[in-house]
Amino acid sequence: MASGPPGAHQRGEVVEKLKRWADFAAAALFSVLFLALVVQVVRRFVFDAPAAWTEELAAIAFLWVIFWGAAFTLPLDAHAAVDVIVPRFSPPWRRVLYALGLAGLALCFLWMLPGTADYLAFIVRERTPVLGWPLGIVYSVFLVFAVMVIVRCLAGIARPAGREPPPGA
């Protein structure tokens, strides 16, 4: 007989496929960043004909790599954390403090979500100087990041009580 709640294995497989897709997307974004920089170096120093679009594309790709990676590919315990006081408590209290910290972070991001979405809808009319991409689309990765922070915080709170919080969290 299988242990765990019904459907847990299927959910685990789906989560793993989504993680692989997110890792692939991050690698693709980093490849775009790297190739834009290579094209810029070759055009500038080999052909003496710099291109502004490569700098803009690299900046956009960098923005997406940072927020996408922080949202999807960086493990929760790899994020920066200050753990001077919490480790001094017993494991049950550490769990409570960890959950309170995650709840506070989720509430902050939840609170700023409507304003972020509203601002992105507002700046979608503006365009990048060279490529002409709508700024609302360029910066939409922050909204994705914010939603994933909330989801990951809630998942951390909902973790079974027997499991310890990550060491660095």
The stretch 91-106 carries a mean pLDDT of 91
Task: Please say if the pLDDT value at position 163 is more than 90.
Answer: no
Contact between 41 and 27 (Cβ < 8 Å)? no
Question: Beta-carbon neighbour count of residue 123 at 10 Å?
Answer: 16
Nearest residue to 38 via CA among 23, 26, 60, 46: 46
The residue type found at 157 is I
Residue 70 DSSP class? I
Confidence of residue 1 (pLDDT cuts 50, 70, 90): very low
**Dihedral angle of Cα 55, 25, 22, 153, to the nearest 10 degrees:** 20
Residue 73 DSSP class? I
Give 68-83 pLDDT, tens digit per residue: 999 998 877 777 777 7
The stretch 20-35 carries a mean pLDDT of 95
pTM: 0.82
Task: Please say if the pLDDT value at position 147 is more than 80.
Answer: yes
Question: How much of the chain exceeds pLDDT 70, in percent?
Answer: 89
Give 113-141 pLDDT, tens digit per residue: 999 999 999 999 999 999 999 999 999 99
Q: Helix 8-45 to helix 52-68 angle, to the nearest 10 degrees?
A: 160
How high is the pLDDT of residue 167? 54
CA distances from 144 to 25, 54, 64, 136 (A): 13, 25, 10, 12
